[in-house]
Amino acid sequence: MNSQRKGIAVALAVLSLGLLVGVPWAVVTANEGSVNVDDVPWSNLSLEGIWTTMTPTPAGRSAIMSLVVSAQGSEGMVYTCVGKHPECSVTAYGLAPEAEQVSDLLGYLVRTGANTFRFSVVCHGIKGGGPAVLGVGETLYMVTLTGTAELVDRDTMIMGEFTYAAYTPTQDLDGDRLPDEGAKPVVCAALPQLPFKRLPMFPSCESSPSP
């Protein structure tokens, strides 16, 4: 376990320079953080939509990451967040060399002010199973991420105050593929803020004439 901790710590030391891979587990309610719906100022900026950013990586090449955000109910207090990161490192940059795929990011954003939110998401590193288990995969790690989000204008969102936490399967005693309540992460690290932009509508192109 000590060698595993050291390996993860080295990987996360690099991640802290700009890596964004994954995120946390939380039970979210509209009143999280003692926020009352009636106390939140009205805003004409919408969080819903598709947001995209480029995340720095230890390889020196940025990787695209996109978030699909949709409201839960009409109050505009709690939002569902699904993250897509097709260029991410499957092994989480050395966290789990045997990992073969990474799940989507799943979580929530909860409004804390007119244009401010807290977010919490989780993803899993998975190894494919063999014939003995009919190909059912095995979770090798769970990564959670929490932080804040702010709508700067209609097309710009800044996410910051990232806290990155990595957990092993031994910290999932009830087998629900989420870190057990009270479990301490193998590693906890801070990551830098990232600017997201709203995905635009693209114009149609003019088809080339057939030769």
Among 74, 41, 61, 79, which Cα is nearest to 157's? 79
Looking at per-residue pLDDT, the higher value among 193 and 41 belongs to 193
Q: How confident is the model at residue 162 (pLDDT cuts 50, 70, 90)?
A: confident
206 within a domain of the structure (yes/no): no
The answer to whether residue 182 sits within a structural domain is yes
- Written as six digits, the tokens of 116 are 């401010």
CB atoms within 10 A of CB 198: 16
Q: Does a structural domain hold residue 138?
A: yes
Structure confidence at residue 38 as a pLDDT band (50, 70, 90): low
Q: Are 106 and 79 in contact (CB under 8 A)?
A: no
Residue 42 falls inside a structural domain? yes
Q: Looking at residue 36, what is its pLDDT? A: 63
Half-sphere exposure for 81 (CA within 13 Å, toward CB): 32
Q: Is residue 170 part of a domain?
A: yes
Host domain of residue 14? 2-198
Residue 207 lies in a domain: no
Q: Mean pLDDT, the chain, as a whole number? A: 82
Could you give the CA distance from residue 203 to residue 199 in angstroms, rounded to a whole number? 13
Q: Is residue 204 part of a domain?
A: no
Looking at residue 210, what is its pLDDT? 77
By the 8 A CB rule, do 19 and 56 touch? yes
pLDDT, residue 37, reads 63
User: Each residue of 81-96: pLDDT tens digit?
Assistant: 999 988 887 877 777 8
210 in a domain, yes or no? no
Q: Are 110 and 80 in contact (CB under 8 A)?
A: no
Asked if residue 117 lies in contact with residue 152, where contact means CB atoms within 8 angstroms, the answer is no
Predicted local distance difference test score (pLDDT) of residue 191? 78
SS3 163: strand
Q: How many domains does the chain have?
A: 1
